[in-house]
Amino acid sequence: MNPSPSAPDCDVAIVGAGPVGLLLANLLGPTGLKVLVLEKNLAPPSHSRAIGITPPSLEILGSIGMADAFVVRGVKIQNVHVHGVSAQTGVCSFRELPGAHPYILSLPQQQTLSLLEQHLRLSPNVALLRGREVAQVEPMGEQVMLGFTEPAPKMTARFVIACDGWRSGIRQQLQIPVRETRYGCHFVMGDFIDSSGMAEEAHLFFTPDGAVESFPLPGGIRRWIVQTPGPLLVIPRGYICRIVQQRAGIVLDAATQLNHSTFNPQRLDCASLYRGRVILCGDAAHAMSPIGGQGMNVGFADAEMLADLLPGMVRGTGDISEELERYEQDRMRAARVAANRAAQGMWLGTWTGISASWLRDVILGGVLLRGPFARLMASRFAMMDVPRGRAQ
Ligand SMILES: Cc1cc2nc3c(=O)[nH]c(=O)nc-3n(C[C@H](O)[C@H](O)[C@H](O)COP(=O)(O)OP(=O)(O)OC[C@H]3O[C@@H](n4cnc5c(N)ncnc54)[C@H](O)[C@@H]3O)c2cc1C
């Protein structure tokens, strides 16, 4: 690799081959820019986090001819059934959403990663290097130098995009201040072979003892998420089955449970999204509660905007500081909207106790899931109105 400032090793170095870094690399493929994706792990993770892909994200994937490959592998969720204290309080239906994808597509994150990684091979100007942990980013005039933890030669790029997740080491190195909010809510999730008979529908059970959420996955699998009273360090065997039966009256077979994990939602807001030629994108730039399923989708729209801006910034046809300022303002606004929405949904959904639960039933069944409000809820859930990352 060439450390000389006059000849960078690549136009754009993307740090992190998570869903956002890989999508950005794919979107940059047709631009002809020389792109390197640097990923510390030798193999993709085997456990799934994100499952919900929204219509705007499918539109972004469609722009590089990838939407069909996702749609044939995923499950189209068209209805979310909401259950209250004693009965179903309403349905949030995506069937009337405008556009080609009136549904939320359910696909495990590892399959999203695999599709995006395979598609990279169609772009000869884009390469993914695994086993490269970026330890240092240093401005060098109109380039940035990257150093690694491994004994690998340093390299240079015109721009570095930090897609290295919510704990972003690059963000820490740049000393960009962040505000972290812990919500004090705790969840356990597990995937089961599906014998519920709920087909391709999602179900939310809001009960006085806590929430239960249930989403179909491809391959006859269903994800169950249960709210827990506190953080669990050890998940007792059969825990999810017991809670689902107590709260939703549904009997799951513990022998068909495929995995489990816990999560304790938190939010992260950054004071800035760039320093010089190093730009934050995806979870490195914002994190939000997974309840509501928006983090990856907001990151996809960040990637879309950067893919529009970077060719001009690299080729010197755009005003770099103006473009970066616009990126920062637009994407911080989008993250704020999505994170507020996720927090509001989680707040309402995690009320416990009988009176709060009856009140929630009235709010949901009597107002939010009725008539025009129901359509608005569907549109908000599907993130139709979260600001998109296109450079106008
Ligand atoms: C339980 C759960 C459910 C979720 N469900 C949804 C959902 O349904 N829909 C949704 O939109 N979002 C969901 N999310 C959020 C979603 O998982 C994240 O928003 C998404 O993974 C962010 O992608 P990313 O590429 O920005 O970061 P990450 O996925 O965190 O990827 C970062 C990558 O960078 C690599 N890396 C880190 N540091 C370095 C380094 N120094 N050098 C090289 N490589 C490095 C890591 O190894 C990793 O591969 C969920 C999250 C959780 C926890």
Q: In tens digits, what is the pLDDT along the chain, a chain of 392 residues?
A: 544 457 899 999 999 999 999 999 999 999 999 999 999 999 999 888 999 999 999 999 999 999 999 999 999 999 999 999 988 899 999 999 999 999 999 999 999 999 999 999 999 999 999 999 999 999 999 999 999 998 889 999 999 999 999 999 999 999 999 999 999 999 999 999 999 999 999 999 999 999 999 999 999 999 999 999 999 889 988 999 999 999 999 999 999 999 999 999 999 999 999 999 999 999 999 999 988 778 999 999 999 999 999 999 999 887 899 999 999 999 999 999 999 999 999 999 999 999 999 999 999 998 999 988 999 999 999 999 887 765 44
> Angle at CA 267, nearest 5°, toward 22 and 390?
45
| Rounded Cα gap, residues 99 and 96, in angstroms | 9
Can you tell me whether residue 133 is helix, strand or coil?
A: coil
pLDDT at 5 (0 to 100): 52
108 CB near ligand 1 (under 6 Å): no
Residues of the chain with CATH 3.50.50.60: 10-76+105-182+266-350
Cα 233 to middle of ligand 1, angstroms:
22
Strand, coil or helix: 146: strand
CATH fold of 10-76+105-182+266-350:
FAD/NAD(P)-binding domain (3.50.50)
Residue whose entry in the numeric block shows the structure tokens 């704020």? 336
CATH for 186-263? 3.30.70.2450
With a 6 Å cutoff on the Cβ, whether 84 touches ligand 1 is: no
Task: Tell me which of 42, 148, 164 to substitute to probe ligand 1's pocket, judged by most ligand atoms within 8 Å of the beta carbon.
Answer: 164
Phi-psi category of residue 249: left, alpha or beta, with phi > 0 → left and psi -120 to 50 → alpha = left
User: Tokens 């707040």 belong to which residue?
Assistant: 347
Q: What is the 3-state secondary structure (H, E, C) of 121-144?
A: CCCCCEEEEECCCEEEEEEECCEE
How far apart, in Å, do the first and last CA atoms of the chain sit?
A: 36
Verify whether ligand 1 is closer than 6 Å to residue 294 (CB atom). yes
Cα 47 to middle of ligand 1, angstroms: 11
Q: Is the CB of residue 169 below 6 angstroms from any atom belonging to ligand 1?
A: yes
CATH 3.30.70.2450 residue ranges of the chain are: 186-263
Q: Whose CA is nearest to atom 45 of ligand 1?
A: 16
Q: What type of residue is 36?
A: L
